[in-house]
Amino acid sequence: MQVVPLIDVDGRNVAVMIAKATFRFDVPTGMLAVATQQMPVAYADEFTPDGQNSRIRIPSDLVVFKPATDILVVEPERGVDRAGLYGRRIFVDVGPVHILGRVGRSWEWGPLPRDGNPRKRFAGTYDKAWTENRMPLLPLDFDVRYNQAAPTNQQVPEFLKGDELIKVRNLYEDGRAVEFFLPGRTIVVSGNVLNRYFTEVAKLDTLLVWTDEPKVSLIWRHIIRPRQKIEEVSNVNVNWVRLRTARELYGKP
């Protein structure tokens, strides 16, 4: 878990709690377990080592807010592993998202480029007026949908809850299918802003399905808004609770 100081679309200081948890699953039984090696919070986009054809492999986690859950299938890190998937017709099913396609030279199910459509059209207008009156803040017409790294058909507008069934076929070993449920837990955030205590349920806004080994990473996010300065935020803690408990106590997710 990290609490990161950022600036929101209105130019205000915010503290963003980012919690990331990685789970391994067995193929083909689907038994889920907390991974020994946890994937760290990504402070910048990670790219594939392909020279001029390089593309984002793992997106940065440093965004203030996502209005939907991104579901991303992470391209294998090593070229030999990518080559081993060429020609396979892969299938990944998570809640309302259905990913189906044949692996080729390009990777269609990972993060969108920041300077390509449809993502680019949400970035806002960086013109002379912005340079003279707004920089370094985001443009007035910036749309938070720019923060969504996944293709549109791999986004869940109402957010994943964290107990959905996942079905995967043709990604691991000899192409066997595997099914498992997400862990059925969520992150509850508590803390203090100038002696005002809060307890909130974070949003599960990113799911990474890894291809180099059978594992998934879940990322929860919550915005903490100080009155003015980040230093007003203190004693931030997270608790890993069952979804049923969160619903009984807080009415969500």
CA atoms within 13 A on the CB side of 93: 9
pLDDT digits (tens, 9 = 90+) for 90-145: 999 999 999 999 998 889 999 999 999 999 999 999 999 999 999 999 999 999 99
Question: 188 and 199 in contact (C-beta within 8 Å)?
Answer: yes
pLDDT digits (tens, 9 = 90+) for 66-87: 999 999 999 998 887 888 899 9
Distance of CA 208 to the CA centre of its chain: 7
- Residue 173 is encoded by which pair of tokens? 């070993």
**50-54, 191-195, 236-240, 247-251: range with lowest mean pLDDT:** 50-54
What pTM, to 2 d.p., does this model score?
0.95
Q: What gap in Å lies between CA 13 and CA 236, rounded to an integer?
A: 16
Domain ranges of the chain: 2-112+149-250
Question: 25 and 214 in contact (C-beta within 8 Å)?
Answer: yes
pLDDT of residue 28: 87
Q: Which residues pair with 223 in a beta bridge?
A: 16
pLDDT of residue 84: 86
> Band of the pLDDT at 18, cuts 50, 70, 90?
very high
